[in-house]
Chains A and B, each alone.
Chain A
Amino acid sequence: MDESADTSVGADELTDEESSEGTDPSEEGNGSDPGAYTTDTRTLDPRVRWLWVGRAVIVALVLGGISAAVAGALAPEQPWIGPAVFVVATALGTAHALLLYRSWSYEVREDSLFLDRGVITRVRTVVPYVRVQHIDTSRGPIERAMGLSSLVVYTAGSRGADVTIPGIRPLEADDLQTRLKALAIESEGEDAV
């Protein structure tokens, strides 16, 4: 991981520059060491697998239902089509959910949030704190029932304008939100738009 070394060098330079310029003391009090907020590489809460598997089963049910209806109209002598579609879709969806859980990781680095996930397409995103516009935590009804939460980080960009970390515990989401907020404030964001 030579890359993490690279980014930390960048951050050191940043702080050097800032201190040489004589930063506002009130800013210093806010948290002088960005290192205090960083995390190791973290994974999602294992329970999110059940959420995703559940979602896959629902999608499979819908698909199976549609195929059963179509099959019933076109080929009534083959009633196994609907259930077969359901089983295959469930298997694929479950496999995808489990693999997706295994692929997910995120890391709060010194000057950027780093996300790595994806089964079919592996996507790695770097969100520099200077670009963070606002940070939400959100909890849908099912997420609430399962004791999970999501964190959404917004930038002014377009493609990666909202970056979501799903399936983390509410306490962790709040903690992350606090960390990212502190880091974003400390970086004195320039939105560059």
Chain B
Amino acid sequence: MQLDPLSVPYRAVEGGLQLVVGIAIFGIAGAGSIGGVEGVAVFGVLVLLGIGLSLGWQLAYYQRFEYRLTPDTFDIDSGVISRRAREIPYGRIQNVDIRQNVIQRALDIAEVRLETAGGGQTEARLRYVGRTDAEHIQEEVSRHKRGESEVPEQDTKDRGETLFELDGRELVVLGIVSMDLRLLSILAVPASIVGPSVFTEFAPATASVAVLVVGLVGLVVASAVVSAAIAMTRYYGFVLTDQGEEYRYERGLLQRFSGSIPKNKVQTITLTENVIARRLGYASLSIETAGYAGGSQGGSGSQSAIPIAQRAHAIELAGRIEDFEGLDFERPPKRARERYAARYGIVLAVLVAAAYAVVQLTSLSAPWYWLLGGVVLIPPAAHLKWRNRGYRLEEDYVITRNGFWSRRITIVPIYRIQTLVTAETVFQRRRDLATLVVDTAGTYSLVGDDAKAVDIDVRAADRLRGALADDLQEAIVEYRHRREHSGPIADGSTDPDEMAGGSSVGPTDG
């Protein structure tokens, strides 16, 4: 099968734009040197040439791009100059995503991405196929995956059981919860460039502090509003359905996004509640698979199972995905608090010293010693950090909890553990503490958000590491047992020999 013919002009415009911009710069330079009407003519010809080249290239790309759904694999033959034939076994496909931005929706075309665990990037991108074709591919891939599990289900194209639907109220809560001041840094760049000149021009010296404060508050508000709006458009109309072997979700106001998460590929699930969400009693839930290449596509956003829901509801849904028992945590020993207090003390000391140095070395006069008042914040801050940490070991799961500003509860099925690492820094050794990292093939771990039991007693960490290593062996034995006795549990490849030989289509380089 081929891509949608409309993808040719779309890609030509999309890819051509850069080319046109590049040529325009050259063209303007060239036209400028020639000057007059001839110059404009040269410029116009160059631009047309650029668009023509781009169209030609995209036409060739379209002609030479072909995909096929064979009984066992998804095949793609592509490439204009250097050809590539790629076969992806259905059992190895982790996620099938469909995305459509506004223009693509108007043209009724969509991008399809297939993710496997191997390789550093998306294994297959179809840019672009018709909307119905895209859905057909998603449907077919999951049907083939099921086909491997020898259950020829009569899937009558129903949309499955709806697990969760984002309503208006939750959308508003999502907006409030997603207010993020990290955008501040982006907004602050133009402000810092434009700011000073405006500042010196309009502000009388006496009002300078007031103007500064108003400007800062304005930036903060703008940042919060923008981030809330981004989150709300991203998750507008979110629906999560249970389709037997996989979960499927749809979302987005401007850019429509639909993805599938195979149940048997779930690595870990994470319950995230930031400070505001905790106050309002809400939480969000995300499912990690091994498919996505870390961070490259805004990682967390693309795998959210539930953008926001009442905490109890979110936990109940988490329990349906992974059958863990509870969320009562064992906290790190109290001496860990001393560590945080010491850490914050050092940070504060550095800040005070810096402020002092600025006051001494420049003509600025400010009451730098006010910063010393921060000392009163250290004990509660250390206590809160400690309070929000914890770990929990169950028969089949290990659960960790970290973070005050954004608290993350990570639920790891023991069967999914890849490696176990305990680390003790010099500062931890002073207090007999250690950090246990439970590594899985999930995506979050790539961006450093692994399940971690931080600052637990060093002996407890050693015990836990040993216990988890043993539990893993048992879990694997049990997994095999289950597979042999209750038939294949749809892992795609039921043959252990096949499992043992590498997993990836591309090189496993990370």
Contact = CB atoms under 8 A, between A and B. Distances in A.
B422 A124 contact: yes
B477 interface: yes
Contacts of B474: 10, 13-14
A160 B439 contact: yes
B117 interface: yes
Contact of A155 (B294, B419, B450, B472): B419
Interface residues of B, number: 52
B287 to A, nearest CB: 14
Contact of B500 (A18, A126, A154, A185): A185
A188 B499 contact: yes
A121 B424 contact: yes
A122 B461 CA distance: 13
Contacts of A189: 499-500
A190 B470 contact: no
Contact of B473 (A10, A125, A163): A10
Interface footprint category on A: 35 or more
A184 B252 CA distance: 44
Interface stretch (A36-44, A51-59, A67-75, A130-138): A130-138
Given A3-B466, A122-B429, A158-B445, A128 B419 contact: yes
A190 B499 contact: yes
Contacts of A158: 294, 418, 439-443, 445-446, 450, 510
A193 interface: yes
Interface in B451-510: 462-463, 465-467, 469-470, 472-474, 476-477, 479-481, 484, 496, 499-500, 502-503, 508, 510
B445 A126 contact: no
A134 B507 CA distance: 12
Interface string A7-21: 101110110011001
A13 B471 CA distance: 11
B257 to A, nearest CB: 23
B426 interface: yes
A115 to B, nearest CB: 9
Contact of A161 (B425, B448, B479, B510): B510
B473 A128 contact: yes
B502 A124 contact: no
B496 A188 contact: yes
A84 to B, nearest CB: 24
B416 interface: yes
B248 to A, nearest CB: 20
B415 interface: yes
Given A131-B418, A191-B503, A159 B469 contact: no
A11 B470 CA distance: 8
Contacts of B466: 3, 6-7
Interface string B402-425: 000000000000011111111111
Contacts of A123: 421-423
24 contacts: A3-B465, A6-B467, A6-B470, A18-B477, A21-B484, A111-B469, A111-B473, A124-B421, A124-B423, A128-B419, A130-B472, A130-B476, A131-B419, A133-B503, A155-B419, A155-B439, A156-B503, A157-B441, A157-B445, A158-B445, A190-B499, A191-B117, A192-B415, A193-B94
Interface of B: 94, 117, 265, 267, 290, 294, 415-426, 429, 437, 439-443, 445-446, 448, 450, 462-463, 465-467, 469-470, 472-474, 476-477, 479-481, 484, 496, 499-500, 502-503, 508, 510
Given A6-B470, A155-B439, A191-B117, 18 more contacts: A6-B466, A7-B470, A17-B481, A111-B469, A121-B426, A122-B423, A122-B429, A126-B419, A126-B421, A126-B469, A128-B469, A128-B472, A131-B417, A154-B508, A158-B294, A158-B510, A192-B415, A192-B441
